[in-house]
Structure 1
Amino acid sequence: MKSFFLVCYDISDPKRLQKIAKVMEDFGVRVLYSVFECYLTFSEFEAMKREVESLMDPLEDRVRYYRLCESCSKPVIHLGYGKFVGASDEDTLII
């Protein structure tokens, strides 16, 4: 079963930032510069988290993972361009 995750990060070193962004692109869709939406199984989420954590410096960088329930991800409202990666685009409102 897949879940919707919102991943936000602040990486201080540009080289680490590039590496982490590349990992994130394998698992989700960039919706803002340092924010990704991911629709993943638990094992995919754990793999992503392990890869990110192996690259980051916990004393200088921050990464936050938000798991949103299906009913929480449905009211996501988009302004501007971009793509929502949730379970169903039918429930997505694009303004």
Structure 2
Amino acid sequence: MSKHYLVIISYDIAHPRRLNRVAKVLETAGVRVQKSVFECGLTPDALIALRSRLRRLIHPGEDHILIMPICVRCRHHIGWQGKLPDISTAPYWIV
């Protein structure tokens, strides 16, 4: 069984067509937690493939995507304020 890692991905895309394409790719990879922020449970190979796919969709001079892997130790320090997200759709477990 491959290990899944929690990865937070946020984006700022300048052109609406590219923005929609990036959002659709990320919707298949994880759970949208804010308008331009996704939580993804990915294997190392899946993360490499996703990075490659996103790289082909953006214009580097205008857009940016932030990909933040969250280590196991750091998961225990994640805190929420306000309404909690729906964990029933999360692709990973936080124990």
- Structure 1: runs of 5+ lacking an equivalent: none
TM-score with structure 2 setting the length: 0.84
> Does the 8 Å contact 2:30/2:91 carry over to 1?
no
1:13-61 deviation line (CA, Å, top 9, x unaligned): 0110000000000100000111000111001111111111110000000
- Structure 2: runs of 5+ lacking an equivalent: none
Q: Which residue of 2 aligns with 1:62?
A: 64
> Does the 8 Å contact 1:29/1:83 carry over to 2?
no
**1:29 aligns with one of 21, 28, 31:** 31
Runs of 4+ in 1 over 6 A off after TM superposition: none
What is the percent sequence identity of the aligned residues?
31
1:56-94 deviation line (CA, Å, top 9, x unaligned): 0000001111011012123323332523436325x4xxx
More strand by share: 1
Task: Kindly tell me the number of residue pairs found equivalent between the two proteins.
Answer: 90
> Does the 8 Å contact 1:4/1:39 carry over to 2?
yes
TM-score with structure 1 setting the length: 0.84
